[in-house]
Amino acid sequence: MPCKGPPPQPGDLIEFDHFYYNHWGVCVGYGKIVHLTNPNGLGSFSSSMEAEAFVEEEYLKNSPYDYKVNNKYDKKADPYPPGKIVNAARMEVGKLRKYDLLKANCEHFVTMLRYGRAFCEQVEDAKFGASFGGGILAAVVGVLISIGKLVRLN
């Protein structure tokens, strides 16, 4: 699918637009990203809040989803230099990592690589909404779990 906006540069965060949630990767150059996927190669994850995720390097052109560069946290934290981000990302490729929807998801993974701190606005927004609506967090988490957070690009 096409990129919405400027083409990604090494070290940029890439946001994939899914219907109910967004998936994240980090550009490592040459049209590739590093991101978390399901270790079993399935299109969705189990309903468990904790599991494992596989770190994979893939071509952006294989994505069935629209995507864009989204370095939105640059206002909140200073990014590392692109070379350091790319090297850190590539060192993770092939590893299994703990996956937790609320504390260690794909957005946490890429923001840790770019900033040295894990952020996830999707989780923060859900928690904020829950303070006003009580059941909003449960509903958001339920939707994310039911459709699966980790999706293979190909």
| Residue ranges per structural domain of the chain | 13-147
* pLDDT tens track for 101-138: 888 889 999 999 999 999 888 766 554 444 444 445 55
* pLDDT tens track for 70-83: 999 999 899 999 99
| Closest by CA position to 110, among listed 69, 50, 64 | 69
Its pTM stands at: 0.76
Residue 57: Cβ-neighbour burial (10 angstroms; 0-12, 13-18, 19+): middle
Please say whether the dihedral angle defined by the alpha carbons of residues 38, 40, 42 and 47, taken in this order, is positive or negative: negative
Q: What local confidence, expressed as pLDDT, does residue 141 receive?
A: 53
Q: What percentage of the chain exceeds 90 in pLDDT?
A: 44
User: Does the structure show a pLDDT above 60 at 86?
Assistant: yes
Say how far apart CA 90 and CA 124 lie, in whole Å.
Answer: 27
Q: How far is CA 133 from CA 120, 123, 138, 141, in A?
A: 20, 15, 10, 14
Q: Which residues are known catalytic residues?
A: 23, 35, 106
For domain 13-147, give its CATH number from 3.90.1720.10, 3.40.50.800, 3.40.50.1370, 1.10.357.10.
Answer: 3.90.1720.10
Q: What local confidence, expressed as pLDDT, does residue 64 receive?
A: 83
Residue 64: Cβ-neighbour burial (10 angstroms; 0-12, 13-18, 19+): exposed
* pLDDT tens track for 25-61: 999 999 999 999 877 654 433 333 458 888 999 998 8
